[in-house]
Amino acid sequence: MLGVEPLDRWLDQVIALCQPDNVDLFTGSSEQLIALKASMVEDGIIDPLSGTARWLHRSDPTDVARMEHRTFICSQREEDAGPTNHWLEPQSAKITLDALFSGSFAGRTMYVIPYAMAPLGGAFTQFGIEVTDSPYVALSMSIMTRLGGTVLDAIQSANPTDVVRGLHCTGSLDPDNRWVCHFPETREIWSFGSNYGGNALLGKKCHALRLASVIARDNGWLAEHMLIVELTTPTGEIQHIAAAFPSACGKTNLAMLESSLEGWGIRVLGDDIAWLRPGADGLYAVNPEYGFFGVAPGTSAKTNPVALSMTTQDTVFTNVAVTSDGNPWWEGLDPLPEGTAVIDWRGSVRAFGDGEGPLAHPNSRFTSPLTNCKTLSDNWNNPHGVRIDAILFGGRRPTTIPLVMEAQDWTQGVLYGASMASQTTAAATGAVGVLRRDPMAMLPFCGYNICDYFSHWLGMAESLPNMPKIFSVNWFRQDESGRYIWPGFGTNIHVIKWISERVSGSVDVFQTPVGNLPLRTNLAFEGVDIHEEAVELLLTVDAVAWHEEVDAIRNYFASLGDAVPTPLIDRLSTIKTSLA
Ligand code: OXD
Ligand code: MN
């Protein structure tokens, strides 16, 4: 069908296996989208909301987040999947999957979706084909990835072995029969039993992170769980920052930050995934996605007014609540009058304030095109990317980790990333609020052995001039009563300003064994509602706590086996001996 022999054969095999009633080559044309939405409304899969082209989808109540324990790397060798991934032997995985997919599209339409990740026309671009029986996935892919005739033409002339092949089936949605399987050697993804974004929009986590991280390792670049922003300084200098935070830790809010500081401007290129490649004069990055798949709860006029204005049109909401006038509502938005009737994320009519639990699911989402965002950088679609000046690593750390610190060299920066930890959130199933190590925020997304991944990171600095400076940030420090100390959100611009001044070399630092900290004179916090003692706490390296932290990192590295790169282990020893 697509005119490229091996892909044709693959599609023929897929059709023969899944036995759909119809096959629809879906390029996301406006006619196709109009017809798709009309049929989804008719079938009760989406409901129109008020505003322009806004839709609500309610998922199966058991299918609301990524399921890490049902996500598998099916590499030929178990050690290639490494200590942090669930591994399945590929031949036996295929036998299981073949049985599940066999006849699974009967009575359904098969959407064949050729897509591109990253702007077209540069070294970054990659292609994939997702085959799915889910209209919700087809609609979401039209927002999150680049579709269309040009993409189809490019796939037809691409080397077929470079095209990622993804097969997705809704299945029975039984959580115990859910499979998200990646085959790095053959660039295949087989996903069964979930329609949730991170499990079913195969261009996103499965392709752009898990498979792309393997492709990146093999070709000398990085596929990362990072936002990208462009910063303009008062002197007109342009800088770019990439930042890795675990899921639901405020990447979207930081990406859409509006500067309250005179002369400083900030614009967004991406909020979730960055591909970074060496260029002639440094490390260049693109956002491979075409839309935002943001967490709705907590998004408010205070935390992210840009996202709120973005979602007033052309947006698919999933699992939010709905007010009687057809507006989406979630926890964090202005409260409604007590007792007001609201439809919750499961579709039940409830009274506002009934104390029966959240009205929107904690991992409810909005899916909007990048171009909806009023602070989008002019370079969002630049196929050559933007040069990255600073990389930030940060997690939800109630104690120990300062508000901001700068790595003294690349190895220490890689150590910041490799030892990152964060309290878990609702973006994946399982307990929330538990501290876990999440290296580079890639624990659920690195498609190969995490120790090799650390080595790959260390090696990136070898051949490149102008490597970005690396920083650690922590917006989530708590006081003894569990309250967040840092006001966060808009005030993060003060920290970004200091980072930018370090990049341009205009401010000095206070050196400690764990990194360089700001001099108080360079971090003014004018207008920020915070006491001086709190600032002291946020910017202090507590030697006792850090001894414990270094021991905890050592234990974590030991749990990964004996392949953690020596420079990281050695650096921990140096830090330990230098701590008072
Ligand atoms: C996401 C995630 O949806 O990280 O971006 O889970
Ligand atoms: Mn993410």
Closest CA to ligand 1's atom 3: 198
Average pLDDT over residues 222-234: 98
Q: Is 249 a catalytic site residue?
A: yes
- The secondary element (H helix, E strand) that includes residue 537 is helix 532-538
Q: How much is the average pLDDT of 453-482? A: 94
247 CB within 6 A, ligand 1 = yes
Check if 204 has its Cβ closer than 6 Å to any atom of ligand 1. no
Residue 109 CB less than 6 A away from ligand 1? no
CB 126 within 8 A of CB 223: no
Index of the ligand 1 atom closest to the CA of residue 445 = 4
pLDDT value for 485: 95
Residue 4's pLDDT band (boundaries 50, 70, 90)?
very low
Please tell me the distance between residue 27's alpha carbon and the centre of ligand 2 in angstroms: 25
* pLDDT of 501 strictly over 90: yes
Does residue 5 surpass a pLDDT of 90?
no
| Probe target for ligand 1 pocket from 199, 205, 206, 226, with the most ligand atoms within 8 Å of CB | 205
Among 156-165, 184-193, 398-407, name the one with the lowest average pLDDT. Answer: 156-165
Residue nearest to atom 1 of ligand 1 (CA): 247
Distance between CA atoms of residues 62 and 429, nearest Å: 10
Of the ranges 46-50, 326-330, 344-348, 533-537, which one carries the lowest mean pLDDT score? Answer: 533-537
% of the chain beyond a pLDDT of 70: 99
pLDDT band at residue 524, thresholds of 50, 70 and 90? confident
427 Cβ below 6 A of ligand 1: yes
Q: How crowded is residue 520: how many other Cβ atoms within 10 Å of its Cβ?
A: 13
Is the Cβ atom of 272 under 6 angstroms away from ligand 1?
yes
What whole-number distance in Å separates Cα of residue 197 and Cα of residue 500? 34
Q: Which residue, judged by its Cα, is nearest atom 2 of ligand 1?
A: 247
User: Over the stretch 286-338, which tens digit does the pLDDT of each residue have?
Assistant: 999 999 999 999 999 999 999 999 999 999 999 999 999 999 999 999 999 99
Portion of the chain with pLDDT greater than 90, in percent: 94
Cα-to-centroid distance, 271 and ligand 1 (Å)? 10
pLDDT at 534: 93
Specify the pLDDT at position 47: 98
For the beta sheet containing 222-224, the strands, ordered from the edge strand earlier in sequence to the opposite edge, are 222-224, 274-279, 282-286, 386-387
What does the mean pLDDT of the chain come to? 96
Nearest protein Cα to ligand 1, atom 4: 247
Ion ligand 2 residues within 5 Å by Cβ? 247, 272
Question: What's 334's DSSP letter?
Answer: P
CA of 16 to the centre of ligand 1 (A): 33
pLDDT at residue 404 above 60? Answer: yes
Is pLDDT of 6 > 80? no
CA distance 285 to 298: 28
Test site for ligand 1: of 63, 66, 144, 180, most ligand atoms within 8 A of the Cβ: 66
Q: How far, in Å, are 333, 395, 508, 543 from residue 247 at the CA level?
A: 20, 9, 33, 29
Phi, psi (deg, nearest 5) at residue 28? 75, 25
Q: What gap in Å lies between CA 146 and CA 204, rounded to an integer?
A: 12
**Ligand 2: centre distance to CA 129 (Å):** 21
Q: Is 251 in the pocket of ligand 1 (CB under 6 A)?
A: no
DSSP string, 471-489: EEE-S--B-TTS-BSS--G
Q: Over the stretch 153-186, which tens digit does the pLDDT of each residue have?
A: 999 999 999 999 999 999 999 999 999 999 999 9
Please identify which of the residues 74, 169, 206, 249 carries the catalytic annotation.
249
Distance, C-alpha 81 to centroid of its chain: 20
For residue 449, which of 189, 187, 83, 75 has the smallest C-alpha distance? 83
* Residue 160 Cα to ligand 2 middle (Å): 28
pLDDT of residue 248: 85
As a whole number, mean pLDDT of residues 339-368 equals 98
Which residue(s) pair with 86 in the sheet? 72
